[in-house]
Amino acid sequence: MFVLYSIKGKRRTTDQYEEASEAMTELGKLASANPKLCATDGGQIISLAYMNLEAFPCNLVDKYASSMHTLDLTDNKFRNVDFLSEFVNLNSLILDHNSIDSDTVFPALPNLELLWLNNNQVSHLFYFINNLQKSCPNLHYLSLMGNTAVLSQLNDGTFYDQLQY
């Protein structure tokens, strides 16, 4: 089950969701113990999943940031995501299983449309979503499964928590 938010308030069709999901599934297949780079007609895809990284390698920022459209950083230790400001053309980002919390501030990512933040430490949904909306004005798909803010809202949250959700 996906917890998806349409930040812009627009309804998305099942086909649009499935298309985005298929693209991210294909990207997930690239993930392994070694960084993977794939060039496509739409730009480049890089996976640095399962690398136990706390910082993004500077040489990769310099070399690929301007042409990168999809980035998979699953299962690392990222909390500070300031380096993403260099990825001006980024439209899909996976940061599942990292150290992203409610205080993490994303830089301006005007082209980002899909963001996966599953299994991080986001505990205050309202403030996090408001900040994210300012940084990512074109975000259409957001997945936050496995974060305490989402779990508490769905299970044992207060009435006020449920209203916010």
State pTM to two decimals: 0.73
With respect to CATH, is domain 14-164 assigned 3.80.10.10? yes
Per residue in 44-83, pLDDT tens? 889 999 999 999 999 889 888 998 999 999 999 999 999 9
**All structural domains of the chain with their residue ranges:** 14-164
> Which pLDDT belongs to residue 131?
95
Q: Are 53 and 34 in contact (CB under 8 A)?
A: no
Q: Are 141 and 17 in contact (CB under 8 A)?
A: yes
Rounded Cα distance, 78 and 104, in Å:
10
> Which pLDDT belongs to residue 141?
97
Half-sphere exposure of 67 (CA within 13 A, CB side): 14
Rounded Cα distance, 11 and 95, in Å:
24
Q: Are 123 and 104 in contact (CB under 8 A)?
A: no
